[in-house]
Structure 1
Amino acid sequence: MISINTKPWTPDQAWAVYQVVEQLYDHLLEQHHESFRYYRWREEQLEEYCRYIDQQQYERVELDEWLNSAWNPGDPEPF
């Protein structure tokens, strides 16, 4: 068992934690790949939308057309 409060960690403890995190990430990616892809895509869309909100009205027209074609808010969520 590794205590997170252990200071400083030994190299073996750090390596063990790294391996556990890597295995967990691999497992999650294997089991939930489509979910990860969706959330990455969704995050990109939200970043674009935030930039859209920050722009002036005349700058929004072109981006508005792109957002409407890339993400239709009326579409159901995949979950």
Structure 2
Amino acid sequence: MRCAIDLETRLIKTAELYAPGRKGSDAITWILDDYPRLVAEIRELRKRVAQLDDEGAQLDAVLHELRQIAERINLL
């Protein structure tokens, strides 16, 4: 099913920038078709960043413990 919509020229130009080799409505269609994949990828990246933050916090805790152990060894 096709339906005509009125879009500003700047929106079409922007879509053409993000849709390599496509012009006009083809660019818009490509962007809309690709949007779900893009959203899913962003969600995965956010999960990975959160995981890296957790791992960083764990490493900070281990580093703190190691420094405390090193200080105790120096006192001996």
Alignment TM-score, normalising by the size of structure 1: 0.34
1 or 2, which has the higher helix percentage?
Answer: 2
Higher relative contact order (CA 8 A, sep 6+): 1
Higher CA-based Rg: 2
TM value normalised by structure 2: 0.35
